[in-house]
Structure 1
Amino acid sequence: MLSFLINKSELEKKISVAANAVGSKTVDPILQCLLFSLENETQIYATDMQTFVISKLNVYEINGNGKFAVDAKLLEEIVKNVDTEQILFSYDMGKLVLKSGKSSFNLSTHSEPDKFPQIELEESGIKFELETSILSEMIDRVLFCASTESAMRALNGVYWEAKGGYLRLVASDGYRLALTEQKVNIDADFDFILSLKSMKELDNLIKQTDEPILTVKFDHKKVWISAGDITVIMRIVEEVFPDYKRVLPKVFKTRIIFNKEEFLEALKRIMIISKRGDEKVRLQINDNILVLNSQSPEYGEVNEEISIEQEGEDLSINFNPKFLNEAVKKIEEDEVVFNFVDDLSPMQINSKDVNEYLYIVLPVRA
């Protein structure tokens, strides 16, 4: 028999990270579980075979040692809803008892906890540190552009590239692209793709941690990122990311600068009609004025007009308004720049100073 006490806040925090890594669609019940291991230290494990999470638990009044596996979602819901700060775990002969205040749960566990998958932590590999706030910002700037289509394996994630002392993150769904970079203290050059699910798990870890510095290790097959006593290990996607540099425009014929909030307010009204039509907004640039137009055969038409600073030729071009909205919202400065090659080529969106990140959006046909 083994038992231990743990604070609810400690367990809830660790489970919230680990439970996201649990496989939701799996034929193997062990992958729907969290593995608790009480050996030299108490740890919980979770995996969907693509992402592994290992969390050290701060427990006390420990008796015995061993391991057990319990349904992750069930345990997460129980821990969220108990109304006292201390939770007592007792495990014996396949039965797990949780006591918290006047509540007592008798839970079944997986009959063969030793079948829980393990992952080897290689000693060799590239190792470096990143500021948590910097990586969090970089992920936020690109993650929304990654493809949600699991069949598009090369695009269903985020491309990491370290080169010349810079770390770049790139994501694309084939219709738009997001790129962000930061100067970092990394000596080696490397690149890899992490799946969208792995990236979301990493993003969740970063949002939960108070650690200012992350430790990153890459062994050319796996990436593991540690934040204090939580480690996320992610298998890289064995695909080649498309050459993103080929879609970055080199020369622009038209450039406009405008107020971010004014544009977003106008676009919000445009989308009332566009979502009831063909999901298209027409941008007409002429004499320092930007006219936005959208039509629906059934519901009607809307026009919006905003003042801009214009450089270069007049232009008329169509875009998916959702893509414009999501990209412009990520620009942190008050002024946004649209850079156009022509009415058929990708358009570049960036801040006025082209500050560490940019977005590329393909036009749609008229």
Structure 2
Amino acid sequence: MRVTLERSELLKSLTHVHRVVERRNTIPILSNVLVRTDAGALKLKATDLDLEAQETVPAMVERPGATTVPAHMFYDIVRKLPEGSQVGLETSSDGATLAITSGRSRFSLQMLPESDFPDITVGELSHRFTLKASSLKTLIERTQFAISNEEIRYYLNGIFLHTVEGPGGRRFRAVATDGHRLARADVPAPDGAAGMPGIIVPRKTVGEIQRLLENPDLDVGVELSDAKIRFTVGDVVLTSKLIDGTFPDYGRVIPQGNDKELRADRAEFAEAVDRVSTISSERGRAVKLTLTAGKMVLTVVNPDSGSATEELVVEYDAEPLDIGFNARYLLDITAQLTGETAVFRLADPGSPTLIQDVGDGDTLYVLMPMRV
């Protein structure tokens, strides 16, 4: 194989592809990126057996061929080459090394044969549709923070995507929860999504697709079955296994009868929570909200260091209420709200609270209280 291509094009593609490769691998070939010529271009592919990324780069192909080289080493070399330079890639006659040349720089990387490189068998993808990058980005950003890190309940380690019927027609919905908080976001369902199975997209895949959604006007191709999903974003194709599990019936934890409504300036509330939580310990991040007519008092008590209080003017005319929440969870949720006013619908100190933007029916958050 002998090819020449622009350093910037190669670096852009390696940036997308090499992130899939885990730093530590017990299987040597999984540390490598597949480099293969393809009709006047170079195709790069990497996988961890659950997620596969591939991208095609324009290149001048003098001699076709294919090989695999260490992904992170290859990326670091190209990243450090001068901007605007041309990069030459050539395999040795004995098939042992790949030479990387640019100007006066020359590197030689050990290769493993292309035949050893695994391929994720996709099978039949039953549903295909196109979604605006801005819509997919909205779904991910508004729910990603609530993905669980718990290994036992592995089925919570991703975002649940499915379609539902709403008052304004069919909706494409994303849900994530870790058992302490729940995030739900909707966008209009694209043509072709009707009847799709409910699927759980793993956390790593969610993070990788989010990084590719830089251009909000781009169309994202989505193909899926009940076991796999494939995203096509420009020249990048991301194929992933789905989490094999059943997402819980999240509708049961969304409160319906919370009759105490609190309205607060979102920015003021977030800043106040951030200030008083300075004094909290890592173990106990509870902030108590004391609600009376037109007023909220935020309190944090840390037996080891002291206490903090702050008072806010709010819209609240229900009976007085003391309720505690994890300060970090409150900040995570308020960071996702886009309006000036946050609406809290509460019931009692032991029941979940519903949090939304004013008039936003597309996104809602549920937060479990803490004992304070």
The TM-score range, normalised by the shorter chain, is: over 0.9
Map of 2:181 onto structure 1: 176
**Is the 1:253–1:313 Cα contact (8 Å) retained in structure 2?**
no
Which residue is 2:101 aligned to? 99
Offset of residue 211 of structure 1: 6.4
Alignment of 1:111-130 (within 5 A): 112-122=113-123, 124-130=125-131
Matches within 5 A, 1:19-58: 19-40=18-39, 41-58=41-58
Amino acid at match of 1:146: I
Aligned equivalent of 1:69? 68
Tell me, yes or no, if the aligned pair for 1:254 and 1:314 is still in contact at 8 Å.
no
Distance, in Å, in 2 between the alignment partners of 1:153 and 1:305 is: 40
Contact 1:277–1:295 (8 Å) recurs in 2: no
Shift of 1:152: 2.6
1:77-115 deviation line (CA, Å, top 9, x unaligned): 1111111422111112221111122211111112x3211
Over the matched positions of the two proteins, sequence identity in percent amounts to 26
| Cα deviation, residue 289, structure 1 | 0.3
Quote the Cα distance in structure 1 between the aligned partners of 2:346 and 2:324: 12
Paired residues of 1:142 and 1:171 also in contact (CA < 8 A): yes
Change (3 A) 1:276 1:177: closer
The residue that corresponds to 2:265 in the other structure is 259
Q: Give RMSD over aligned pairs.
A: 1.6
- By how many angstroms is 1:327 displaced? 0.4
Task: Say if 2:276 is the partner of 1:270.
Answer: yes
2:363 corresponds, among 347, 357, 361, to 357
**Structure 1 length as normaliser, TM-score?**
0.95
Q: Deviations over 1:264-303 (max 9, x none)?
A: 1111111111136721100110011011000111211100
Cα shift at 1:153: 1.1
Task: Give 1:201's aligned amino acid.
Answer: E
Which of 299, 303, 309 is matched with 2:309 structurally? 303
Is the 2:162–2:199 Cα contact (8 Å) retained in structure 1?
yes
Q: What is the CA-CA distance between 1:331 and the residue it aligns to?
A: 0.2
Q: CA deviation at 1:332?
A: 0.5
| Structure 1 match to 2:205 | 198
Letter in 1 for 2:64: N
Shift of 1:248: 0.3
Q: Distance in 2 between matches of 1:287 and 1:229?
A: 56
Alpha-carbon distance between aligned partners in 1 of 2:108 and 2:134, rounded to the nearest angstrom: 41
Indicate the residue corresponding to 1:139 in structure 2: 140
Can you give the 5+ residue segments of structure 2 that lack an aligned partner in the other structure?
Answer: none
Q: Note closer, same or farther for the CA distance 1:223–1:69 as it changes in structure 2 (3 Å cut).
A: same
Report the alpha carbon displacement of residue 227 of structure 1 after superposing the two structures with TM: 1.2
* Residue among 238, 243, 246 paired with 1:240: 246
**Structure 1 residues 166 and 252: alpha-carbon distance in aligned structure 2, compared to 1, 3 A threshold:** same
Corresponding residue for residue 15 of structure 2: 16
**Alignment partners' CA distance in 1, 2:123 and 2:83:** 40
> Secondary structure in 2 aligned to 1:312?
coil
SS of equivalent to 1:68? strand
Q: How many residues align?
A: 362
Once the two structures are TM-superposed, the CA of residue 210 in structure 1 deviates from its matched residue by 7.3
Residue 82 of structure 1 corresponds to 81
Instruction: Look up the match of 2:172.
Output: 167
The verdict on how the C-alpha distance between 1:344 and 1:188 changes in structure 2, with shifts beyond 3 A counting, is same
**1:149 offset after TM fit, Å?**
2.8
AA partner of residue 91 (structure 1): T
**Structure 1 runs (4+) greater than 6 angstroms displaced:** none
**Residue identity matched to 1:118:** D
> Are the equivalent residues in 2 in contact too, given 1:211–1:227 (CA < 8 A)?
no
Q: 2:234 & 2:79 partners in 1: Cα distance? A: 23
Asked whether the equivalents of residues 154 and 240 of structure 1 are also in contact (C-alpha less than 8 Å), the reply is yes
8 A contact 1:89–1:99 mirrored in 2: yes
Structure 1: distance between partners of 2:280 and 2:223: 45
Query: 2 CA distance for matches of 1:31 and 1:182?
Result: 36
Q: 1:108 to 1:204 in 2, by over 3 A?
A: same
Task: Give the 3-state SS of the residue equivalent to 2:213 in structure 1.
Answer: helix
> Can you list the C-alpha shifts for 1:13-62, whole angstroms capped at 9, x where unaligned?
111111111133421011111101124453111111111111111112x1
